Chain A
Amino acid sequence: GENVEQHPSTLSVQEGDSAVIKCTYSDSASNYFPWYKQELGKRPQLIIDIRSNVGEKKDQRIAVTLNKTAKHFSLHITETQPEDSAVYFCAASTANAGGTSYGKLTFGQGTILTVHP
């Protein structure tokens, strides 16, 4: 089955700096890569996702890049703010509407991001 490795496990930055979290996956059939943010005591919430037919996607201060050949994808947060402090999870799936994958997600281990004011 799919295996997703996420690094680093903790990341500490100063406000205004950029933060990068990296993930690798093992199943070349994976085609959907979401990133979730989880604040302390809260549920995970999707912040950005990318499908395998594109190499990069941006949403304001957040961007995700995908390298299918190397089987890795990364989350980039620019101009970090204290409210970005949370645990971030990457995931991978062989999403296939109506197919047999059923949208099952395999998650990375998580990165605790701390943004210092």
Chain B
Amino acid sequence: DAGITQSPRHKVTETGTPVTLRCHQTENHRYMYWYRQDPGHGLRLIHYSYGVKDTDKGEVSDGYSVSRSKTEDFLLTLESATSSQTSVYFCAISDQRGSYEQYFGPGTRLTVT
């Protein structure tokens, strides 16, 4: 597996609380992505980054924000968690040079009660 980790791996939180998920890579890839996975929906892009401090919205970005202050770290924040944000969150990385493959992290299972 590519050098990509996510933390925490599991989290249970209450509605209305802020939550931050971390993605860390050791591959020096330029591009990083956050997806959520829900039954019947496949993987949907939340936000992505194309460089340090360069981020943009994906198709399901409402209620989420991101930050990338270093090449290796991409943070996903739920400002005020809701039950609809209960999901499995995957981070992915890619260098988009030669290969367009995205390498996925191990995922974070988030439950909002």
State whether the Cβ of A11 lies closer than 8 Å to any Cβ in chain B.
no
**Chain B residues bordering chain A, tally (CB within 8 A):** 27
Interface size class of A (residues with CB under 8 A): 20 to 34
| Residue with the highest number of chain B CB atoms closer than 10 Å, among A32, A93, A103 | A103
Report whether A44 and B104 are in contact in the complex, using a CB–CB cutoff of 8 Å: yes
Q: Are A102 and B41 in contact (CB under 8 A)?
A: no
Encoded as 1 (CB less than 8 Å from any A CB) or 0, chain B from 21 to 54 comes to: 0000000000101010000111111001010000
Contact A43 B42 (CB under 8 A): no
**Interface-facing stretch out of B12-20, B64-72, B74-82, B92-100:** B92-100
| Chain A interface mostly | loop
Are B101 and A105 touching (Cβ within 8 A)?
Answer: no
In the bound complex, residues from chain A placing their C-beta under 8 Å from that of B40 are 9, 109
A110 to B98, CA, bound (A): 26
Q: Which residue of A lies closest to B59 (CB)?
A: A1
| A34 to B96 CA separation, bound complex (whole angstroms) | 13
Chain A proximity of B47: nearest CB distance (Å):
10
Interface residues in chain B, defined as those with a beta carbon under 8 Å from any beta carbon in chain A: 1, 31, 33, 35, 40-45, 48, 50, 56, 58-59, 90, 94, 96-98, 100-102, 104-107
Query: What is the interface of chain A, defined by CB distance below 8 A to chain B?
Result: 1, 6, 9, 32, 34, 42-46, 49, 89, 93, 95, 97-98, 102-110
